[in-house]
Amino acid sequence: MLKDTAQKALSLLDLTDLTDTCDAAAIERLCAQAQTPFGPTAAICIWPRFVAQARGILGAGHAVNIATVVNFPSGDLAVAAVIAETKQAIADGADEIDLVIPYRDFITGDEAAVTEMVEAVRAVCTPPVRLKTILETGELKDPALIREASDLAIAAGTDFIKTSTGKVSVNATLPAAEIMLNAIKASGKPVGFKPAGGVRTVTDARDYLDRAAAILGAGWATPKTFRFGASGLLGDILSVLDGQSAPPAPASY
Protein backbone atom coordinates (compact mmCIF):
# COMPACT_ATOMS: atom_id res chain seq x y z
CA MET A 1 0.00 0.00 0.00
CA LEU A 2 1.12 3.55 -0.69
CA LYS A 3 0.54 4.46 2.97
CA ASP A 4 3.03 1.81 4.04
CA THR A 5 5.59 3.25 1.65
CA ALA A 6 4.89 6.75 2.97
CA GLN A 7 5.44 5.64 6.57
CA LYS A 8 8.67 3.93 5.57
CA ALA A 9 9.87 6.94 3.59
CA LEU A 10 9.18 9.22 6.57
CA SER A 11 11.49 7.14 8.75
CA LEU A 12 14.23 7.37 6.08
CA LEU A 13 13.94 11.07 5.28
CA ASP A 14 16.75 13.59 5.69
CA LEU A 15 14.53 16.68 5.65
CA THR A 16 16.67 19.25 3.90
CA ASP A 17 17.07 23.00 3.67
CA LEU A 18 20.23 23.99 1.82
CA THR A 19 18.77 27.05 0.16
CA ASP A 20 20.82 30.22 -0.09
CA THR A 21 18.05 32.06 1.75
CA CYS A 22 17.93 29.72 4.75
CA ASP A 23 17.94 31.62 8.03
CA ALA A 24 17.41 31.01 11.74
CA ALA A 25 13.63 31.14 11.40
CA ALA A 26 13.75 28.52 8.65
CA ILE A 27 15.79 26.23 10.90
CA GLU A 28 13.20 26.57 13.66
CA ARG A 29 10.49 25.60 11.18
CA LEU A 30 12.53 22.68 9.83
CA CYS A 31 13.14 21.26 13.31
CA ALA A 32 9.41 21.47 14.00
CA GLN A 33 8.46 19.93 10.65
CA ALA A 34 10.79 16.99 11.26
CA GLN A 35 8.64 15.97 14.24
CA THR A 36 5.42 14.94 12.53
CA PRO A 37 2.20 13.46 13.95
CA PHE A 38 3.22 10.22 12.23
CA GLY A 39 6.70 10.08 13.72
CA PRO A 40 10.03 11.84 13.21
CA THR A 41 12.13 12.03 10.10
CA ALA A 42 15.53 10.33 10.28
CA ALA A 43 17.40 13.63 10.18
CA ILE A 44 17.47 17.21 9.09
CA CYS A 45 20.21 18.27 6.65
CA ILE A 46 21.34 21.88 6.96
CA TRP A 47 24.22 24.29 6.39
CA PRO A 48 27.05 24.03 8.94
CA ARG A 49 26.40 27.51 10.31
CA PHE A 50 23.03 26.38 11.64
CA VAL A 51 24.11 23.16 13.38
CA ALA A 52 24.56 24.71 16.82
CA GLN A 53 21.13 26.36 16.60
CA ALA A 54 19.49 23.08 15.59
CA ARG A 55 21.23 21.22 18.41
CA GLY A 56 19.95 23.82 20.84
CA ILE A 57 16.41 23.27 19.60
CA LEU A 58 16.49 19.47 19.41
CA GLY A 59 18.69 18.81 22.42
CA ALA A 60 20.99 15.88 23.01
CA GLY A 61 19.94 12.37 22.06
CA HIS A 62 16.96 13.50 19.98
CA ALA A 63 15.33 11.04 17.58
CA VAL A 64 15.98 13.48 14.71
CA ASN A 65 19.65 13.43 13.74
CA ILE A 66 21.42 16.58 12.57
CA ALA A 67 23.26 16.20 9.27
CA THR A 68 25.35 18.90 7.66
CA VAL A 69 27.40 19.34 4.50
CA VAL A 70 31.12 19.92 3.95
CA ASN A 71 33.09 20.69 0.80
CA PHE A 72 29.65 21.66 -0.46
CA PRO A 73 28.55 22.08 -3.16
CA SER A 74 31.66 22.64 -5.27
CA GLY A 75 33.79 19.78 -4.01
CA ASP A 76 36.94 21.81 -4.61
CA LEU A 77 38.14 22.87 -1.16
CA ALA A 78 41.53 21.79 0.16
CA VAL A 79 41.55 18.76 2.46
CA ALA A 80 42.71 20.86 5.41
CA ALA A 81 39.78 23.26 4.97
CA VAL A 82 37.30 20.40 4.80
CA ILE A 83 38.77 18.82 7.93
CA ALA A 84 38.37 22.14 9.74
CA GLU A 85 34.75 22.41 8.55
CA THR A 86 34.05 18.88 9.70
CA LYS A 87 35.61 19.29 13.13
CA GLN A 88 33.65 22.49 13.75
CA ALA A 89 30.38 20.89 12.64
CA ILE A 90 30.91 17.94 14.98
CA ALA A 91 31.82 20.29 17.84
CA ASP A 92 28.59 22.20 17.15
CA GLY A 93 26.57 19.01 17.47
CA ALA A 94 26.36 17.37 14.02
CA ASP A 95 25.53 13.66 14.05
CA GLU A 96 26.18 13.14 10.34
CA ILE A 97 28.55 14.67 7.80
CA ASP A 98 27.62 14.75 4.09
CA LEU A 99 30.91 15.20 2.21
CA VAL A 100 31.22 16.16 -1.46
CA ILE A 101 34.11 14.39 -3.18
CA PRO A 102 36.47 16.43 -5.41
CA TYR A 103 34.47 15.23 -8.37
CA ARG A 104 35.97 17.59 -10.93
CA ASP A 105 39.46 16.31 -10.11
CA PHE A 106 38.14 12.77 -10.29
CA ILE A 107 36.64 13.36 -13.73
CA THR A 108 40.08 14.43 -14.97
CA GLY A 109 41.60 11.19 -13.69
CA ASP A 110 42.70 12.03 -10.15
CA GLU A 111 41.38 9.01 -8.28
CA ALA A 112 43.76 9.61 -5.38
CA ALA A 113 42.01 12.90 -4.61
CA VAL A 114 38.82 11.03 -3.79
CA THR A 115 40.55 8.50 -1.56
CA GLU A 116 42.54 11.18 0.24
CA MET A 117 39.48 13.34 0.94
CA VAL A 118 37.24 10.53 2.14
CA GLU A 119 39.91 8.93 4.30
CA ALA A 120 40.80 12.28 5.89
CA VAL A 121 37.20 13.12 6.76
CA ARG A 122 36.53 9.56 7.88
CA ALA A 123 39.39 9.91 10.36
CA VAL A 124 37.65 12.78 12.18
CA CYS A 125 34.13 11.30 11.92
CA THR A 126 34.62 8.91 14.79
CA PRO A 127 31.59 6.83 15.85
CA PRO A 128 28.80 7.56 16.39
CA VAL A 129 29.23 10.33 13.78
CA ARG A 130 28.13 8.99 10.40
CA LEU A 131 29.87 9.90 7.12
CA LYS A 132 27.87 10.15 3.89
CA THR A 133 29.90 10.72 0.72
CA ILE A 134 28.31 12.67 -2.15
CA LEU A 135 29.49 11.53 -5.59
CA GLU A 136 27.61 14.13 -7.69
CA THR A 137 26.56 11.44 -10.15
CA GLY A 138 24.82 13.89 -12.48
CA GLU A 139 28.19 15.47 -13.20
CA LEU A 140 30.10 12.19 -13.40
CA LYS A 141 27.57 11.00 -16.02
CA ASP A 142 29.57 7.96 -17.17
CA PRO A 143 28.31 4.75 -15.48
CA ALA A 144 31.89 3.52 -15.20
CA LEU A 145 32.88 6.70 -13.33
CA ILE A 146 29.87 6.40 -11.00
CA ARG A 147 30.85 2.83 -10.19
CA GLU A 148 34.51 3.73 -9.66
CA ALA A 149 33.64 6.67 -7.40
CA SER A 150 31.34 4.38 -5.41
CA ASP A 151 34.08 1.78 -5.04
CA LEU A 152 36.65 4.37 -3.98
CA ALA A 153 34.39 5.93 -1.37
CA ILE A 154 33.45 2.54 0.06
CA ALA A 155 37.09 1.43 0.19
CA ALA A 156 38.00 4.68 1.97
CA GLY A 157 35.57 3.92 4.77
CA THR A 158 32.41 5.91 4.14
CA ASP A 159 29.20 4.88 5.89
CA PHE A 160 26.95 5.92 2.98
CA ILE A 161 27.27 6.81 -0.66
CA LYS A 162 24.96 9.61 -1.77
CA THR A 163 24.05 10.57 -5.33
CA SER A 164 23.98 14.34 -5.39
CA THR A 165 24.18 17.78 -3.87
CA GLY A 166 20.85 18.83 -5.36
CA LYS A 167 22.67 21.86 -6.79
CA VAL A 168 23.31 20.64 -10.35
CA SER A 169 21.00 20.04 -13.30
CA VAL A 170 20.85 16.24 -12.91
CA ASN A 171 20.56 14.83 -9.40
CA ALA A 172 19.30 11.44 -8.20
CA THR A 173 18.33 9.02 -10.96
CA LEU A 174 17.33 5.37 -10.86
CA PRO A 175 20.17 4.28 -13.22
CA ALA A 176 22.75 5.90 -10.93
CA ALA A 177 21.05 4.34 -7.92
CA GLU A 178 21.30 0.90 -9.48
CA ILE A 179 25.04 1.31 -10.10
CA MET A 180 25.65 2.49 -6.53
CA LEU A 181 23.52 -0.22 -4.95
CA ASN A 182 25.36 -2.86 -6.94
CA ALA A 183 28.67 -1.39 -5.74
CA ILE A 184 27.46 -1.74 -2.15
CA LYS A 185 26.41 -5.32 -2.78
CA ALA A 186 29.74 -6.20 -4.39
CA SER A 187 31.68 -4.66 -1.50
CA GLY A 188 30.04 -6.87 1.10
CA LYS A 189 30.31 -3.94 3.52
CA PRO A 190 27.54 -2.40 5.66
CA VAL A 191 27.39 0.77 3.57
CA GLY A 192 24.20 2.76 3.07
CA PHE A 193 22.72 4.59 0.09
CA LYS A 194 21.15 8.05 -0.17
CA PRO A 195 19.41 9.37 -3.30
CA ALA A 196 19.22 13.16 -3.06
CA GLY A 197 17.60 15.81 -5.21
CA GLY A 198 14.47 15.24 -7.26
CA VAL A 199 12.74 12.68 -5.02
CA ARG A 200 9.47 14.54 -4.55
CA THR A 201 6.65 12.01 -4.19
CA VAL A 202 5.94 8.79 -2.34
CA THR A 203 5.76 7.09 -5.73
CA ASP A 204 9.28 8.33 -6.48
CA ALA A 205 10.41 6.98 -3.10
CA ARG A 206 8.81 3.61 -3.79
CA ASP A 207 10.78 3.30 -7.04
CA TYR A 208 14.07 3.70 -5.15
CA LEU A 209 13.03 1.38 -2.34
CA ASP A 210 11.97 -1.26 -4.86
CA ARG A 211 15.35 -0.99 -6.58
CA ALA A 212 17.17 -1.37 -3.26
CA ALA A 213 15.07 -4.39 -2.33
CA ALA A 214 15.71 -6.04 -5.70
CA ILE A 215 19.48 -5.66 -5.34
CA LEU A 216 20.10 -5.93 -1.60
CA GLY A 217 17.03 -7.74 -0.36
CA ALA A 218 13.67 -6.99 1.18
CA GLY A 219 14.06 -5.24 4.49
CA TRP A 220 17.59 -3.98 3.74
CA ALA A 221 16.51 -0.35 3.75
CA THR A 222 16.51 1.02 7.31
CA PRO A 223 17.60 4.42 8.67
CA LYS A 224 21.08 2.90 9.13
CA THR A 225 21.33 1.89 5.46
CA PHE A 226 19.03 4.14 3.42
CA ARG A 227 18.10 7.82 3.41
CA PHE A 228 16.21 10.14 1.10
CA GLY A 229 17.72 13.60 0.78
CA ALA A 230 14.69 15.76 0.09
CA SER A 231 12.57 18.70 1.15
CA GLY A 232 9.39 18.51 -0.89
CA LEU A 233 8.94 14.78 -0.22
CA LEU A 234 7.65 15.41 3.30
CA GLY A 235 4.55 17.20 2.02
CA ASP A 236 3.55 14.25 -0.16
CA ILE A 237 4.31 11.76 2.64
CA LEU A 238 2.01 13.62 5.01
CA SER A 239 -0.73 13.99 2.42
CA VAL A 240 -0.67 10.23 1.76
CA LEU A 241 -0.71 9.42 5.47
CA ASP A 242 -3.55 11.89 5.97
CA GLY A 243 -5.43 10.38 3.04
CA GLN A 244 -5.38 13.71 1.23
CA SER A 245 -3.68 15.12 -1.83
CA ALA A 246 -1.38 18.11 -1.79
CA PRO A 247 0.65 20.04 -4.37
CA PRO A 248 4.39 19.29 -4.30
CA ALA A 249 6.46 21.60 -2.13
CA PRO A 250 9.31 23.59 -3.65
CA ALA A 251 12.78 22.10 -3.42
CA SER A 252 14.96 23.38 -0.60
CA TYR A 253 18.44 22.74 -1.93
Residues belonging to the active site: 98, 162, 194
DSSP secondary structure letters along the chain: -HHHHHHHHHHTEEEEE--TT--HHHHHHHHHHTEETTEE-SEEEE-GGGHHHHHHHH-TT-SSEEEEEESTTT--S-HHHHHHHHHHHHHHT-SEEEEEP-HHHHHTT-HHHHHHHHHHHHHH--TTSEEEEE--HHHH-SHHHHHHHHHHHHHTT-SEEE---S-SSS---HHHHHHHHHHHHHHTS--EEE-BSS--SHHHHHHHHHHHHHHH-TT--STTTB-EEESTHHHHHHHHHHT---PPPPP--
Any long-range contacts for 177-181 (C-beta under 8 Å, 24+ apart)?
177/208, 177/211, 177/212, 178/211, 178/215, 179/137, 179/143, 179/146, 179/147, 179/150, 180/135, 180/137, 180/146, 180/150, 181/211, 181/212, 181/215, 181/216
